[in-house]
Chains A and B, each alone.
Chain A
Amino acid sequence: MAKHTLTPRQYLILGLVAVCAPLGDTCLSRGMTHMPAISLSHPGALIAAVFTPWIASGIALLIGFFASYLTALSWADLTFVLPATAFGNVIVALLSRFWLHETISLERWAGILLITLGVGFVAQGPSLTEHPAPEPEREEVEVP
């Protein structure tokens, strides 16, 4: 396997993959919990919810996540990109600990440590598997 090193721009895209998804989910969750209960008999309320600041921010962040994720998949292996998406869970847990001052159980600290180790393992290796280019077909020359 050839060594594929990432450019700072590509690390930035992986960072966006890790950050945008959990932040988007958090925005959606916060927006929806602050809304009055929506019933299926009034679907207009659901459409109106899309234009509230928290929900709109959540959707924008999730679109950003999907665009970054697709870009990352175009130059890196799936098995390289996926641990980066999981690292978003660690970011959310650390934000909840140090920003929201929530308590994190020992079990969760163990989870954070394992994900960080896993992402570290993958990041040390190559980002893309080299597939050998198919050999061009040789034209057979008929000898008279």
Chain B
Amino acid sequence: MTLPFSTFQPGVWMATAMISAVVLSSTTGEVLTAAAMKSLGDLDVIRARSGLKGAIRAVLTCPLFFAGVFFLALAFFSLLFALNHLNLSLVAPASASLTLVTNAIAGKIFLKENVDRRRWAAAVFVCVGVYLLAH
């Protein structure tokens, strides 16, 4: 007998996989977007030099930016999929707080950011804070 889709109850591993998909695609999107912006340079300077149209053109002609937006869109649809199967009170705080920590790790590894003790502490504080606030 097959169960209707809406009555499917995911187990712990399935829930972990769904939340991991949201967190990983979101982190990839954030890192790619940040890398795109860093490659362009200060947008305020570009805007002062070439106007608002020039700044928009600079962003829209950067392939890395579109790669980032693609993964952010993927994160959004993964979130919708997860919300279809899991409770909002689990998905929203878990994905929002875990993304902060994975972004700190990815920022250090891929963007070579200097994530010192202060930033690690901030990532953990904000992670727990978001969880408490959203739960």
Contacts and interface: CB of A to CB of B under 8 A. Distances in A.
Given A77-B113, A79-B103, A125-B116, A107 B135 contact: yes
Contacts of A118: 121-126, 129
Contacts, number: 119
Interface of B: 30-31, 33-34, 37-38, 40-44, 59, 96, 100, 103-104, 107-108, 111-116, 118-119, 121-126, 128-135
Contacts of A73: 33-34, 37-38
Overall SS of chain A's interface: helix
A22 to B, nearest CB: 11
Contacts of B128: 111, 114
Nearest to A89: B133
Interface of A: 1, 9, 70-71, 73-75, 77-83, 86, 89-90, 93, 107-108, 110-119, 121-122, 124-126, 129, 131
Contacts of B37: 70, 73-74
Overall SS of chain B's interface: helix
Nearest to A13: B44
A116 B103 CA distance: 19
A56 B42 CA distance: 29
Contacts of B107: 77-79
A135 to B, nearest CB: 17
Q: Most A CB atoms within 10 A — which of B40, B112, B119?
A: B119
Nearest to A114: B129
